[in-house]
Amino acid sequence: MKKILILLAIVGIVACKKDSIEPSADNCQKVTDEYTTAINAWSNDITNKSKCEAVKKSLTNILSACSVYTAVERKRYEDELKKFTCD
């Protein structure tokens, strides 16, 4: 049973890494540009839930791709993003 749990944990970690954006200067610039586009679109239609969700997703991508944040800062921002709703 213990081996199965360890295997599931490893598979989960690999799956999460696969979907995340690799931290780099190029990726950071790309996701920052995407954030700018998303926030501009949302600011023109603040009641649009999908545009709000796009802003949240782009902020999450910034946290993943830009290595200027420490682990503690990243965790704090991620927790704040979880509290933010687009309802």
What digits encode the pLDDT tens for the residues 20-61?
A: 567 677 888 899 899 999 999 999 998 999 999 999 999 888
Which residues are CB-neighbours of 62 under 8 A, at least 6 positions away? 28, 31, 32, 35
Each residue of 38-64: b (16+ CB within 10 Å) or e?
Answer: beeebeeeeeeeebbebbbebbbbbbb
Rounded to 5°, angle at Cα 86 from 18 and 66: 40
Q: Is the pTM above the cut of 0.85? A: no
Dump pLDDT digits (tens) for 51-68: 999 999 998 888 888 877
